[in-house]
Structure 1
Amino acid sequence: MKTFGLIGYPLSQSFSQSHFTEKFKQENIEARYLNFPITSIDEFPGLINHHPYMGGLNVTIPYKEKVIQYLDELDPIAKEAGAVNVIKFDWSKPHKPILKGYNSDIIGFSKSIQPFIKAHHKGALILGTGGAAKAVGFALKKMGLTYKLVSRTPKNDDQIAYGNLNEKTMKDHQVIINTTPLGMYGDMDAKPTIPYQFCGPDHLFFDLIYNPEITAFLKAGQKQGAAIKNGLEMLHLQAEAAWEIWNQ
């Protein structure tokens, strides 16, 4: 039986396993989808050796960047974005698969947020600097929006510290995207520390989190009159894009 799966840590709130298990059942696909909660990316080679019938993997926090070192090839978009959330296994050669990295987060995010982007949305703030943030930044750039990454410890001119966000910054960046885990189920009162009081009806708040449905971050935006969107649709879209990649 062909195996698909998800690597990351922790995986207690993972959507992927239930999504693909139901898909395989509904479409009579002889395959299984397993969670692989590895505590270090160093465990990745051993994982591959223990599952010789692997068809593909999804990658989530915190390995979307770290896994690249173990891949044989990168899709040009994933390479430019600098992050991978889908790995395709090519078994055309005997004994050892060729591993190629892709990024379906970009596809899912773009299709999900596009209907909400208005003419006045010129700039965005991306909360977080990890692999998901890189995918979001790549997608925004393709849509013609400028962006700044918001970090606790800025490393370059493309990043800004949370403490340096002010009224002008918030008005110049009317799309706010949370790529951090703050507000996930289990810590639902948490939210990024941004000056919400400077946001209003012209703002769009997008949270990659999907559980809970409305995070504390989205509630704070909604209170200011902003449009809000959670990450559930993005998740479904990126999962279907991953399936297409594995089977192309």
Structure 2
Amino acid sequence: MKTYGLIGYPLSHSFSKKYFTEKFQNEGITNNQYELFPIGDINSLPDLLAENPSIVGLNVTIPHKVTVLPFLNDIEEAAEKIGAVNCICIRSFEGDTYMKGYNTDAFGFEESLKPLLKPQHQKALVFGDGGAAKAVKYVLEKLNIEYQIVVRKAISGAILYEDITAEILKSHKLLINTTPLGMSPHIETCPNIDYSLLNEEYLAYDLVYNPLETIFLAKAAENGASIKNGLEMLYKQAEKAWCIWNNVR
């Protein structure tokens, strides 16, 4: 039996378990299972692997995407540049465990974003600078899209929401929400910008996928902007993880 799973804490609900369990059933993949491993302390990872020798692949979620790095034997270039891992491939050689880390969030975001980009989307406002923003910034740099980070509390290299002037908003026609604003159950929240300035030239992308249309996306759409939620990104990063675990190119 091959075991795949998700480490993080808490793990009250999991897209990944549902996705992969259904994948195994629908594609007739036998002797595979996907389990949840809620670990609060990343230092317990070696014990988890020792107790579950059938684990060959892990997804990684909050709060371990960065703290897991010292436990890895190798890390792909993209994940190293991003500074965060959300996928681990695990192999055993002569009794030793070998772990390589990847970041499939970047792949999922890039693949879902690229088809939507238009010539005017050369500058982006990125709302939030937490873990989710790491992969977004990596992809924007890869695509040569300038970006400005927007946060609620002052940090170096970012501006505050109240600093967003009409001129700034008019010159940044790609808007990306990497924060939990609008996520269930707090669906009434959204990035605090002047949505009335938006029009059909704008693209609003929300990493949130529950609900499928956040207040951020709804307000952007009301003013003519194209919108995209994070569901396709989620599916694409999951499929990329599957390919990594099974060495599929």
Distance 1:62 1:175, change over 3 A: farther
The equivalent of 1:174 in structure 2 is 173
Q: TM-score, normalised by structure 2?
A: 0.92
Cα distance, 1:85 vs structure 2? 1.1
Of stretches 20-29 and 230-239 in structure 1, the one that deviates more from structure 2 is 20-29
Cα distance, 1:88 vs structure 2? 0.7
Q: CA–CA distance in 2 between the matches of 1:220 and 1:48?
A: 46
- Does the Cα contact within 8 Å between 1:210 and 1:230 map onto a contact in 2? yes
Cα distance, 1:238 vs structure 2? 0.7
- Does the Cα contact within 8 Å between 1:82 and 1:131 map onto a contact in 2? no
Q: Which amino acid aligns with 1:178?
A: N
Q: Quick check: 1:26 aligned with 2:26?
A: yes
Cα distance, 1:214 vs structure 2? 0.5
The equivalent of 2:207 in structure 1 is 208
Q: CA–CA distance in 1 between the matches of 2:206 and 2:179?
A: 9
Secondary structure of residue in 2 paired with 1:106: helix
Secondary structure of residue in 1 paired with 2:96: coil
The 5-angstrom pairing of residues 39-118 of structure 1 reads 39-91=40-92, 93-118=93-118
Secondary structure of residue in 2 paired with 1:66: coil
Q: Quick check: 1:224 aligned with 2:229?
A: no
Secondary structure of residue in 2 paired with 1:180: coil
- Does the Cα contact within 8 Å between 1:125 and 1:176 map onto a contact in 2? yes
Secondary structure of residue in 2 paired with 1:35: strand
Distance 1:42 1:190, change over 3 A: farther
Length, aligned pairs only: 246
Of stretches 1-10 and 229-238 in structure 1, the one that deviates more from structure 2 is 1-10
Cα distance, 1:50 vs structure 2? 2.6
Q: Which amino acid aligns with 1:239?
A: A
Q: Which amino acid aligns with 1:83?
A: A
Distance 1:179 1:13, change over 3 A: farther
Of stretches 163-172 and 100-109 in structure 1, the one that deviates more from structure 2 is 163-172
- Does the Cα contact within 8 Å between 1:5 and 1:56 map onto a contact in 2? yes
Q: Give the alignment's Cα RMSD to 1 decimal.
A: 1.7
Q: Which amino acid aligns with 2:168?
A: T
The equivalent of 1:136 in structure 2 is 136
- Does the Cα contact within 8 Å between 1:218 and 1:228 map onto a contact in 2? yes
- Does the Cα contact within 8 Å between 1:209 and 1:215 map onto a contact in 2? yes
Secondary structure of residue in 2 paired with 1:97: strand
Secondary structure of residue in 2 paired with 1:168: helix
Q: CA–CA distance in 2 between the matches of 1:55 and 1:229?
A: 33
Q: Which amino acid aligns with 1:95?
A: G
The equivalent of 1:244 in structure 2 is 243
The 5-angstrom pairing of residues 124-203 of structure 1 reads 124-157=124-157, 159-203=158-202
Runs of 5+ in structure 1 lacking a partner?
none
Q: Which amino acid aligns with 2:240?
A: A
Distance 1:232 1:22, change over 3 A: same
- Does the Cα contact within 8 Å between 1:64 and 1:132 map onto a contact in 2? no
Distance 1:65 1:130, change over 3 A: farther
Please list the CA deviations of residues 165-195 of structure 1 after superposition, one character each: whole Å capped at 9, or x if unmatched.
Answer: 2212211211111111222222221222233
- Does the Cα contact within 8 Å between 1:83 and 1:132 map onto a contact in 2? no
Q: CA–CA distance in 1 between the matches of 2:148 and 2:173?
A: 12
Runs of 4+ in structure 1 over 6 Å off: none
